[in-house]
Amino acid sequence: LLTVMERSIQDRVPPLLTDLYQFTMAYEPAVFELFFRDNPFDGGFSLLAGVHDCLLFLRSFRFTGDDVEFLRSVMPPATDPAFFQFLRGLDCSNVTLRSVPEGTVVFARVPLMEVAGPLAVVQLLETSLLCLVNYASLVCSNAARFRLAAGPRRKLLEMGLRRAQGPDGGLTASRYTHIGGFDLTSNVQAAFLFGIPVTGTMAHSYVTSFNSLEEVWPPTLSAKNGDPTPVDFISLTKGWLIRVCELLESESQKIHEGELAAFLSYAIAYPQNFLPVIDSYSVGCSGLLNFCAVALALCELGYRPVGVRLDSGDLCRQSVDVRHVFRLCSEHFSVPAFDSLIIVGTNNISEQSMAELNKKENEIDVVGVGTHLVTCTKQPSLGCVYKLVEVRGAARMKISEDPEKSTVPGRKEVYRIVDAEGRPFLDLLCLAVEPPPEAGVPLSCFPLDSDHSPLSVTPAQVTCLRQEVFTKGQVTHPLCSAAETRVKVQSSLQTLHPRHKRLQEPDSYTVALSERLRNLVKEVRKGSSTQNNFLLAN
């Protein structure tokens, strides 16, 4: 499976998937950091995702002969031929990547990745690494917010492939929404590649494509117990339909024959996966009655129907009505399987409508989400950036007229400070050469973007956030499956204080600089100002 996934990364993210200006940089030992400036969706946190793909990309980074010849055709004619010879032998054998583990809760302005190596190489990696991390982290964070809005009980189905930004966007969304907290996907290719549980129902077009029972073929179904004698499934279902109509005092003339034919055909083809959409015409007058009749017939033959999907109207009210009918059938016909039927709700579900769902009485077991999940309609980009912090051993800083776009110079360590209750409350950026903070020892730090007096804190526990995951051309940290990373996400979110997880108006999480790092920022700013006045010097 890893070989398939690595080949997928090679196909989707070849070395030429970068911007042209990356090929015009110099050859110096350098360090870059990858981070984002604001938590997405006006929230209090994000999740780091895409590290797995970054590692596969780095391991396979090579320019082919065709790549180099294409670059020769688009680069300035005066480009030194030795440069193209250099590209032919280029790889990541001298690159080191230190990263926060994938699936970890992270915050704005915290350096998530440190990429060190020859400037000519690590600069070329910028666009590709940003491409791999930006959307993966954004959609993973979006999924986590949907999970928080849904609560722990309800299952979530990702069904956004048809609305995704292309096939690759659909695959990425399926993988990272599962990691972020979704239980199931409708994407078969994602299930194959990443081991995500896959499920599906039926489309309205399938239901409306039938007109009469004469279209049902074959009309028979054998019992599950192994008896090869085919049973007239249409007649069996008709008998059950009469009994259901009598029980519910419904008018049989309002039942849509084409819908019943569609349900019968589907049940005969997939007797152990019967989960139809029941609102193509009328839930109460047709869809629910047809479902119950077919499901009862399946139960009589030893099969267990799965449930129904609601896709329009007042999902909460309808789900309550549907559950009531299921219970009536279970009791009246002594069919216990009807007590475990599930109700799936789908209808352009957003984070807001998911939260509202929990405020109303409903019986929805699974919620299917597509457009608002995979397209991240509330925020289309996370805005990760990749900035130089050191070259030739000297700290470098971007000093911008916009303070938010200024960077923090120097090679760093990132520590997560945890309180006595086991909850993180501050991420501390220190110079790499500084001794780490210690549990139980008070420390003084300076919150980012604040000119206020220093903050004094005493950690109950200290965690070094970043670890070396790639060095000398090799992945040096175990690659985790989607399922394993999904567990890490939920574990990381569990530690976060509820005030930081609020979907609306969360408390800000503190990111701070050590005193030595703050002094370095001041020194670099002062040095830059002095250098800018060189024309006025003697």
Q: Which amino acid is at 179?
A: I
What SS3 state is found at 439? Answer: coil
What SS3 state is found at 443? Answer: strand
Return the ∠ at Cα 80 (arms to 75 and 83), rounded to 5°.
80
Per-residue confidence (pLDDT) for residue 26, from 0 to 100: 46
**Cα 309 versus chain centre, distance:** 24
Query: Do 483 and 195 touch, CB atoms closer than 8 A?
Result: yes
* Spatial distance between the Cα atoms of 399 and 180, rounded to a whole number of angstroms: 35
Residue among 158, 228, 231 at smallest CA distance from 189: 158
Distance between terminal CA atoms of the chain? 67
* Spatial distance between the Cα atoms of 536 and 463, rounded to a whole number of angstroms: 48
Domains of the chain, CATH where assigned: 1-147+380-531 (3.20.140.10), 151-375 (3.20.20.70)
H or E element that contains 385? strand 385-391
* Spatial distance between the Cα atoms of 308 and 345, rounded to a whole number of angstroms: 9
Contacts of 133 (CB under 8 A, 6+ apart): 34, 48, 49, 50, 51, 54, 112, 113, 382, 384
Q: Which residue has the tokens 């070989």?
A: 3
What's the DSSP call for residue 358? T
* Spatial distance between the Cα atoms of 332 and 245, rounded to a whole number of angstroms: 13
Give the number of other Cβ atoms within 10 Å of residue 424's Cβ: 21
Q: Taking the model in full, what pTM does it have?
A: 0.90
* Spatial distance between the Cα atoms of 515 and 446, rounded to a whole number of angstroms: 7
Give the tokens for residue 194. Answer: 């990443």
Per-residue confidence (pLDDT) for residue 399, from 0 to 100: 85
One digit per residue, pLDDT tens: the chain, 538 residues?
Answer: 556 667 777 777 777 666 655 454 446 899 999 999 999 999 999 999 999 999 999 999 999 999 999 999 999 999 988 889 989 999 999 999 999 999 999 999 999 999 999 998 999 999 999 999 999 999 999 999 999 999 989 999 999 999 999 999 999 999 999 999 999 999 999 999 999 999 988 899 999 999 999 999 999 999 998 788 999 999 999 999 999 999 999 999 999 999 999 999 999 999 999 999 999 999 999 999 999 999 999 999 999 999 999 999 999 999 999 999 999 999 999 999 999 999 999 999 999 999 999 899 999 999 999 999 999 999 999 999 999 999 999 999 988 777 778 899 999 999 999 999 999 999 999 999 999 999 999 999 999 977 778 999 999 999 999 999 999 999 999 999 999 999 999 999 999 999 999 999 999 999 999 999 999 999 998 887 666 554 444 4
Give the tokens for residue 315. Answer: 């999902």
What's the DSSP call for residue 284? I
What SS3 state is found at 146? Answer: helix
Give the number of other Cβ atoms within 10 Å of residue 65's Cβ: 8
Per-residue confidence (pLDDT) for residue 86, from 0 to 100: 87
Query: Do 373 and 169 touch, CB atoms closer than 8 A?
Result: no
Per-residue confidence (pLDDT) for residue 27, from 0 to 100: 62
| Residue 413: burial class (beta carbons within 10 Å; 0-12, 13-18, 19+) | buried
Give the number of other Cβ atoms within 10 Å of residue 339's Cβ: 12
* Spatial distance between the Cα atoms of 319 and 444, rounded to a whole number of angstroms: 55
| Residue 113: burial class (beta carbons within 10 Å; 0-12, 13-18, 19+) | buried
* Spatial distance between the Cα atoms of 413 and 467, rounded to a whole number of angstroms: 10
**Cα 488 versus chain centre, distance:** 13
Q: Which amino acid is at 244?
A: V
Per-residue confidence (pLDDT) for residue 22, from 0 to 100: 47
Per-residue confidence (pLDDT) for residue 415, from 0 to 100: 98
What is the DSSP annotation of 91-145? -STT-EEEEPPTT-EE-TT---EEEEEEHHHHTTTHHHHHHHHHHHHHHHHHHHH
Longest dimension (CA), the chain: 105
Per-residue confidence (pLDDT) for residue 236, from 0 to 100: 98
Give the number of other Cβ atoms within 10 Å of residue 166's Cβ: 8
3-state secondary structure 391-420: ECCEECCCCCCCHHHCCCCCCEEEEEEECC
Q: Using omega within 30 degrees of 0 as the cis cutoff, is the peptide bond preceding 436 cis? A: no
Per-residue confidence (pLDDT) for residue 2, from 0 to 100: 56
Residue among 266, 207, 208 at smallest CA distance from 237: 266
Residue among 100, 147, 121, 106 at smallest CA distance from 58: 121
